[in-house]
Structure 1
Amino acid sequence: MHKHGCPQDLTSFNSFLDVLCKAKQAEIAYNLFKVFRRKFRVDMISYNILANGYCIMKRTPKALEILKEMVERGLEPNVMTYNIILKGFFRAGQTKEAWEFFLQMKRRKCEIDVVTYTTMVHGFGVAGEVERSRKLFDEMVGAGVLPSVATYNALIQVLCKKDNVENAILVFDEMLRRGYLPNVTTYNVLIRGLFRVGKMDRAVEYMDKMKEDECEPNVQTYNLVIRYYCDDGEFEKAFELFEKMGSGHCLPNLDTYNILISAMFVRKKSDDLVVAGKLLIEMIDRGFLP
């Protein structure tokens, strides 16, 4: 290998760093990085991977050190770098630091993109600061940054969990009016929110509406509805949906079987225990280990 390595070598090296960082082995990745950075002309991607690795481990001070080292070596952080650190603060529950960092980005006239705003909307919402989350969404629109479906999903999730599902439906309707196509995550979040407040009929209506919007329910959607039917004692409806899945609409997974088997044991009727046994056998036949 020659002194600075070739682009292909660096790509492979970065991929290896990424694997280590995602496995929460950022320290090992950084030690390797220090050994090999003389052989490779490491780039911004390498530093972003390391910063993300430390953020995954909730070690934001170390991620900031990586950012500092990057600048000292003459590499200019990009919006992805800043978004990684921002997300890291929220992951570590450091909302105050996240807000300060966001303000720093503005002062430095960094490019603030849709990912930045989505991170802020979701982060403050999860922390229970719904009003702030909503204001950031409005600020984003006012700044001419177009929300993505992921941004709407973040806001809808925040409203469902921390505010009022009716407000979430208003945002969903606004999303449709503006020409956005909801995806399966949008619907799953809304359906979960409606079930949580006991509006089962409306939740099922939204599941039916998915197909109208050419958005097929996935296994998480089915599991969600089956779980709530079981919790409500509507076992026949739960099994109707389960049969629908088995007929090829969307094959059940391990969670589906666990939900139904668990429900049968909770009720403890003799017939239910037989059904649970049959489900266990079917589950194993389909290759799922209990």
Structure 2
Amino acid sequence: MVSFKQLVAQHNPLQPDFVPSLLQSLSLYNLHQSPQAYHFLIKTLLHNRQFHHIPSLLHHLQLQHFQTPEYIFTHLVKFYGNANRIQDAVDIFYRIPQFRCFPSAYSLNALLALLCRSQRGLKLLPQVLLNSLHMNIRLEESTFRLLVCTLCRMNKVAYAIEILQRMLDDRLGVNDKVFSFVLSSVCAEGDLDGEDVIGFWRGLRKLGFSPAMGDYDGVVRFLVKKGRGLDAWDVLNQMKSDGIKPGIISYTMVLNGVTAEGDYILADELFDELLMLGLVPNVYTYKAYIDALCKQNKVEEGIKMVACMEELGCKPNVLIYNTLLRTISKAGEISRARELVKEMKYKGIEMNWVSYTIIIDGLVSNGEILEACALVEEVLHKCIFIKSLTFDEVICGLCQRGLVCKALELLGKMVERSISPGATVWEALLLSSESRPKFHLVNPL
């Protein structure tokens, strides 16, 4: 007696009459056409990507008298999805009841997961959900979780929260993963203010949400971005109260937040605290603390901090030097700024457009126009983008000192780099040309 799999192997799926020929052979050998047999045939056809045989096989399956298992259609839906045949997957889902099968959330979730992968699938999602209700499919907890995550990915956070609320009202289990996903989506909303997020955060905590470190950091990041550094500090303290040790990223964000709000005493305490906890500051932590020192006009302490971080193996970057340069230049200490620039070059730290802007503005403010002009030419040579306002100030300064030729030369270099001067430049050049003495030839006759 030949086995079922041997009989299948004897038939070539590439033949146009593969399905009827095979089924006829099954009858000749008295092999039972069971659900498992049809499932095996479907997997064989899908494996060989013989999709055109599937309708014929399903037609014969529909003529059978047994109840077709749901897993056969779930397998078809998933395979059609992987083959990017979304409409075929939807169609086979709608046909499930025709095969004496009662669809459930099992096959629905498989289809929903497929539709959530692409914009094309998302457009079909509402109609599929509506039809699933007509098919008497009961939405389960897993379905709601899938919908919540999908809506969050679509930036439809308000709808996701509504479904989350329905899950809670129906006493469905909501795990921390779903809470975390919704929370991160809420924090990604740019239109919300800090009070909304704090209220939502507290509401989740009351519902039993046990946030992980990533959840705390997401809330802290949002609050700092919204200028609510002290609220971020409260979340940091709550993290510690919940037995979670904050990482260096958490402390760095809060350090930036409280510094932006002007609480420099708290910034000092936070920096001391993270060191006592054994956390190793990174370059961004040092940058945040040096920024706090500079805003207190403690520039020398900031410079000493640069030396300390180098001793601990943390190399300072251009962001840290820009913080120091900005404070020093505003104070009019141009010579000290020059020393820092030399130090940067000695350490191999390349100046960026912010560095050049700070130094050029400082030189212009102190009347060092020629030196500022030399820096502008260096910037143009390196093709570094700087706001045209900085160039305009230098050209106007040259014109005010009667160096019109130098100003025109610099203007020409700007135009070559496609940098458009402002109206003040043309005004300065016109005024300079009008103030220059005019000489007339005397008629010798």
TM-score interval w.r.t. the shorter chain? 0.7 to 0.9
Cα deviation for residue 72 of structure 1 reads: 8.3
Sort the Cα spacing of 1:231 and 1:116 in 2 relative to 1 into closer, same or farther, 3 A. same
Q: Provide the rounded CA distance (Å) in 2 between the counterparts of 1:200 and 1:104.
A: 45
Report what 2:357 is aligned to. Answer: 223
Mark the CA change 1:72 to 1:151 in structure 2 (over 3 Å): closer, same or farther.
same
Matches within 5 A, 1:68-107: 76-107=210-241
Return the match for 2:182 from 39, 47, 50. 47
CA distance in 2, matches of 1:247, 1:284: 13
In 1, the alpha carbon distance for the partners of 2:347 and 2:150 equals 37
Q: Is 1:236 paired with 2:367?
A: no
1:167 pairs with 2:294: no
- TM-score w.r.t. the length of structure 2 is 0.53
2:414 equivalent in structure 1: 283
Instruction: Tell me by how many angstroms 1:58 deviates.
Output: 5.8
Computing the radius of gyration over CA atoms, which structure comes out larger, 1 or 2?
Answer: 2
Q: Choose 238-247 or 220-229, whichever is displaced more.
A: 238-247
Are 2:385 and 1:253 aligned? yes
Equivalent residue for 1:9, pick from 101, 117, 132: 117
CA change 1:15–1:234 in 2 (3 A) is farther
Which residue pairs with 1:30 in the alignment?
157
Question: In 2, distance between residues paired with 1:182 and 1:47?
Answer: 37
The answer on whether the counterparts of 1:79 and 1:110 sit within 8 Å (CA) in structure 2 is: yes
CA–CA distance in structure 1, aligned partners of residues 192 and 200 of structure 2: 14
Gaps of 5+ in 2: 1-85, 87-109, 123-148, 167-174, 422-445
Alpha carbons 1:67, 1:77 under 8 Å: kept: no
Q: Give the letter aligned to residue 5 of structure 1.
A: A
Which structure 1 residue ranges, 5 or more long, are not aligned? 21-27
What is the SS of the residue equivalent to 1:179?
coil
- C-alpha spacing 1:71/1:5, structure 2 compared with 1 (3 Å): farther
Are the counterparts in 1 of residues 376 and 391 from structure 2 also a CA contact under 8 Å? no
Partner Cα distance (1:289, 1:45) in 2: 48
SS state of the match for residue 9, structure 1? coil
Cα 1:72–1:210 shift into 2, 3 Å = same
Q: 1:73 to 1:236 in 2, by over 3 A?
A: same
* Residues 1:151 and 2:285 aligned together: yes
2:400 aligned partner = 269
1:282 Cα deviation (Å)? 3.9
Note if contact 1:125-1:162 (Cα within 8 Å) is conserved in structure 2. Answer: no
For the structure 1 residues 15 and 285, does the alpha-carbon distance in structure 2 shift closer, same or farther, using more than 3 Å as the test? Answer: farther
- Matching of residue 186 in structure 1 with residue 317 in structure 2: no
Q: Distance in 1 between matches of 2:328 and 2:204?
A: 46
The CA distance in 1 between the partners of 2:313 and 2:231, in whole Å, is 35
Distance 2:311 2:241 in 1: 34
Q: Is the 8 A contact 1:230 1:238 kept in 2?
A: yes
Q: Which residue of 1 aligns with 2:198?
A: 64
1:164 Cα offset (Å): 1.3
CA contact (8 A) 2:395 2:411 kept: no
Once residues 151 and 360 of structure 2 are traced to their aligned partners in structure 1, the CA distance between those partners, rounded to angstroms, is 40
The residue type equivalent to 2:393 in the other structure is S
2: CA distance, partners of 1:93 / 1:9: 35
Distance 1:72 1:127 in 2: 29
Q: How many residues align?
A: 274
Q: Distance in 2 between matches of 1:149 and 1:229?
A: 28
| Equivalence for 1:202 | 336
Alpha-carbon distance in 2 for matches of 1:17, 1:288: 42
Alignment RMSD (CA, Å): 3.7
Determine if contact 2:220/2:253 at 8 Å carries over to the other structure.
yes
The CA deviation string for residues 126-177 of structure 1, in whole angstroms up to 9 with x for no partner, is 2222222111101101101111100000011111122411111121121111
1:212 to 322, 346, 359: 346
Q: Secondary structure at the match of 1:225?
A: helix
CA deviation after TM superposition for structure 1 residue 67, in Å = 3.8
Q: What letter matches 1:122 in structure 2? A: N
**Offset of 1:97 from its aligned partner?**
2.9
Amino acid aligned to 2:215: T
SS state of the match for residue 267, structure 2?
helix
Report which stretch shifted further, 213-222 or 92-101: 92-101
What secondary structure is seen at the aligned counterpart in 2 of 1:239?
helix
Inter-partner Cα distance in structure 1 for 2:336 and 2:255: 26
Structure-2 change in CA distance of 1:50 and 1:281 (3 Å): farther
Q: Percent identity?
A: 22
1:1-32 C-alpha deviation (Å, 9 max, x unpaired): 6445269939xx999978x9xxxxxxx64246
Higher relative contact order (CA 8 A, sep 6+): 1
For the residue of structure 1 that corresponds to 2:250, the secondary structure is helix
